[in-house]
Copies of this chain bind each other. A is one copy, B any other.
Amino acid sequence: MDKGMLSMNIKINKLVQSMKRYDLDAVIATSPESVHYLSGYSSLGQPLGVFIAALLSKEGDITIVVPKTHIDLLCQEKVPDVNVRCYGEFYANFLDEEKLSPAERAFKNFLTQDQTKLSAIEVLSRVLKDGRLESARVGMEEEKLSATLFKRLKDSLPELRILEASEIFKRARMVKTEEEITLLGKAVQITEKGVQNALEIAREGVTEAELASVFEETLIEEHAKPLGTWMGFGAHSAFPNVVPSASVRLRKGDIIRFDVGCVYEGYCSDIARIKVFGKPSSEQKRIYEVILQGEQRTLEAVRAKAKACDLFSLAVGYIRKAGLRDYVRHHVGHGIGSQVYEPPTISPSDETPLERNMVINFETPYYLVGLGGFQVEDTVRVTDEGYEYLSKMERDLE
């Protein structure tokens, strides 16, 4: 069994277990992330707002519902071993069969399998009927489904019992497979390379926008997509989602703050570093030391079974005691995977015990508006005894 198939079996088993627990006959993923998780159908090329779904039966069979307009995306990659049902309308012309490659033949088969031009919900309804699921108990990612389509599905199959199952998918996705951890690590590496390349052009008078361009160009060279480039200098860096400006120029003594990420092969990164251009002031050093130590001490307590809320208390408690008495946060970290924010959240209300192979971001930002943003954010993999860094870039202020 190859690594991809092993990874897929682990995922399916987890979801089938959840289905048993909640007495569900099937679950339907409707977010690009969960569809990709279940089927390998890549949401990378997927334009926004287009309906896709993946249905997993309790027997472990997977059927994806995708638009004909994007079905060629499926043929250009290794075709996943799932049932495919297309909806909508799209046309192409074909040379004689013997002149076509396997991918081209697959494309032809998908386009011509059904000429009825059915809508997305009509096709999903048929898939449910074909599986004798029209009056079944079905868990669905309602959170990621539009209200309009949800109504149409209810109208089309009034006997269907739909339960909100976003949490089932999120929980299944919390613990990562080796394959996923490799991709998450690669996404972090690319991001760190981008930050390093951007810092290389740091000089007096350079603009935020110029540094941001170098950062994003690095991602593109590495076949990743920019996900959020919050990057700023000096006082501007204190805006949490700082949008790089073409009019803010770097001056001696400025903080340069990066809170940045990318998507690589469907997996996200999100790391933060600050550097001072020139010599850090004693105030900058003092604050940074407190928040860095806050992150580091929290990481020292990370291991399987540690509770998210306890790690939160530890971080905020340390930072307040160490000198930032007004420190308030709603979280000091979050799971990361095919989405930037995944459970668990390292927050006062999340009692999730960490598990081996969760991948979690830890961060202890302190936005001092008027002065600057102080932040360090790292990505780690949880192990039985502790953690391993996926983010490796040094944490020096200078």
Contacts and interface: CB of A to CB of B under 8 A. Distances in A.
A178 interface: no
A110 B209 CA distance: 26
Which of A91, A143, A327 lies at the interface centre, i.e. has the most chain B CB atoms within 10 A of its CB? A91
Contact of A220 (B45, B144, B146, B220): B220
A198 to B, nearest CB: 12
Contacts of A76: 239, 242-243, 245
A329 B91 contact: yes
Contacts of A92: 238, 240, 367-369
Given A104-B369, A240-B69, A243-B45, A220 B225 contact: no
A388 interface: no
Contacts of A235: 101, 104
Given A108-B369, A145-B147, A241 B89 contact: no
A84 B118 CA distance: 42
A21 interface: no
A223 B92 CA distance: 35
Interface in A222-239: 223, 225-226, 228, 235, 238-239
Given A148-B164, A213-B220, A368 B93 contact: yes
A217 interface: yes
Interface string A72-98: 110111000000000001111111100
A5 interface: no
Interface in A159-176: 164, 166
Contact of A45 (B72, B73, B241, B340): B241
A1 interface: no
Contacts of A142: 146-148, 151
Contact of A49 (B104, B107, B144): B144
B225 A209 contact: no
A337 B260 CA distance: 28
Nearest to A371: B95
A310 interface: no
A74 to B, nearest CB: 10
